[in-house]
Amino acid sequence: MSNNNGYKLVQGNEACVEGALAAGMRFYAGYPITPSTEIAEISAQKLPQIGGKFIQMEDELASMAAIIGGSLAGLKSMTATSGPGFSLMQENIGYAALAEIPCVIVNVQRGGPSTGMPTSPAQGDIMQAKWGTHGDHPSISLTPNSVQETYEYTIKAFNIAEKYRTPVVLLMDETVGHMREKLKIKDSSEIEVINRKKPTCEPKDYVAYRPDEDMVPQMASFGEGYRYHVTGLTHDETGFPTNNNDVSGKLVQRIVDKVEKNIDDITYYEEYRMEDAEIVIVAFGGVSRAAKSAIDDMREKNIKVGMFRPITIWPFLEKQINDVAQKAKEIYVAEMNLGQYFLEVDRVAGKKCPVKKINKINGELITPNEITYAVTGGAIND
């Protein structure tokens, strides 16, 4: 007799594919790189079995280009990589942002810079996820901290990409990507799936980049009779290039605004033992699990500590961090880098309370003891 209640032991990377398929992914293009490779392998296995397509491209530049092409031809598309590959994808991520092509990019972060530590966790790509491609552009990154969340937030990443016609980054880390824990796969009736808006007008009346009220234009797939032009040059509502300064400025403003002004719709976070917390740890991804353990330990010693965990890493949850800073006496930002997210938290919270860093970059997950030690100055460490 099984008592599993519908739970299965699943690896984080596998949960990512399960989420993607549930969200409607039907095209995957990628290039092998540790620690994300299982996402490609499982996609290669599963996609043809449901009539979807998988292709292993010659590099990550091509992978990113191919998923933009796949999306334009009408299939929900994804790629997965890690730091070095994420660097190579940046130019075309900017293309997807400007040309407004929905797609999902998974980055299972490993130690960097350069080839770094391929099999070890890190969170060194936080700022790259925001600013990796040149020019001003919208950035959306979601950061799961468990296998179940990897599944759930991969689905959300697709939904957000489709709704706002923009690339969405699922920012995992090796800890979450490679660990196995329980996952409950949902029934399709329980899953909300959002699809891009399609034009309903006659092809002759279609103005490819004219936004609706929600600032998002309707998107026809190539081959549906709406012959239009897509370019990475700044363009007017017709989609054709323009050097008109007014039109160009408004275009970039619109693609940023359509995300920033809808931030409440894509805001996901968790608060842990925050009710009376005087000390707040800001942590995300694998590190947030260490923070939870540390908080439990410290609470046993009557230290009023809690955690604010942004799941939406970008756009930055300014409103929520501001609220946290109003009540907190002290904020610690714990991350597996030298203080990238700290810069944003400090920008918003720094004038209200002291903001301090807890960092680790040696390829190991920050431990609960290290967080406790940093917060208490070693006072309660055994």
Partner 1 sequence: MFQKMELRLSGSGGQGVILAAIILADAAIEQGINAIQTQSYGPEARGGSSKAEVIISKDEIKFPKVTNCDILLCLTQNSYDKYIASLNKNGILVVDESVNVNMNESYKIYKLPILDTAQNKIGTHMVANIVSVGTLYALIGEDVISKDVMIRSITNRVPPVTVDKNIYAFEEGIKLIRG
Partner 2 sequence: MTNTNCNEMTQKYYRVDRMPHIWCPGCGHGTLMNTVVRAIDKVGLNKDDVVVVSGIGCSSRAPGYMDFNTLHTTHGRALAFATGIKMANPKLHVIVIMGDGDSSAIGGNHLIHAARRNIDITTIVFNNNIYGMTGGQFSPTTPYGDFATTAPFGNIDKAFDLCSLAQGAGATYVGRGTAYHAPLMQKLIEKGLENKGFSFIEGLSLCPTYYGRKNKKGNAFKMHSYFKDNCVDIKVVEKNPEKGENKILIGEFYNSPKTEYTEGYQVIIDKFQK
Please state at what angle helix 147-164 crosses helix 12-23, rounded to 10 degrees.
30
Of 316, 309, 314, 313, give the one whose Cα is nearest residue 294.
Answer: 309
Rg (CA), the chain: 21
201 binds partner 2 (CB under 8 A): no
Which residues does 127 contact at the CB level (< 8 Å), separation at least 6?
340, 343
- 119-178: which residues touch partner 1 (CB under 8 A)? 119-120, 175, 178
CB 141 within 8 Å of CB 115: no
Q: Output the smallest distance, CB 368 to partner 1, in A.
A: 5
3-state SS, one letter per residue, for 360-374 = CCCCCCCCHHHHHHH
Cα–Cα distance, 233 to 239 (Å, whole number)? 9
320 binds partner 2 (CB under 8 A): no
Q: Output the smallest distance, CB 91 to partner 2, in A.
A: 6
Among partner 1, partner 2, none, what does residue 128 contact (CB within 5–8 Å per kind)?
none
CB 327 within 8 Å of CB 308: no
- 274-333: which residues touch partner 1 (CB under 8 A)? 286, 289-290, 292-293, 296
Among partner 2, partner 1, none, what does residue 240 contact (CB within 5–8 Å per kind)?
partner 2
Among partner 1, partner 2, none, what does residue 260 contact (CB within 5–8 Å per kind)?
none
224 binds partner 1 (CB under 8 A): no
In a 13 Å sphere around the CA of 78, the CA atoms on its Cβ side amount to 34
Question: Which of 53, 180, 299, 327 is in the footprint of partner 1 by CB under 8 A?
Answer: 180
Cα–Cα distance, 140 to 144 (Å, whole number)? 13
Give the x-and-dash track for 40-69 against partner 2 (CB under 8 A): --------xxxx-x-x-xxx-xxx-xxxxx
7 binds partner 1 (CB under 8 A): yes
User: 293 φ, ψ to 5°?
Assistant: -60, -45
| Residues in contact with partner 1 by the rule CB under 8 A | 1-5, 7-9, 118-120, 175, 178-182, 286, 289-290, 292-293, 296, 365, 367-369
| Residues in contact with partner 2 by the rule CB under 8 A | 26-27, 29, 48-51, 53, 55, 57-59, 61-63, 65-75, 77, 91-92, 95, 221-225, 227-233, 240-241
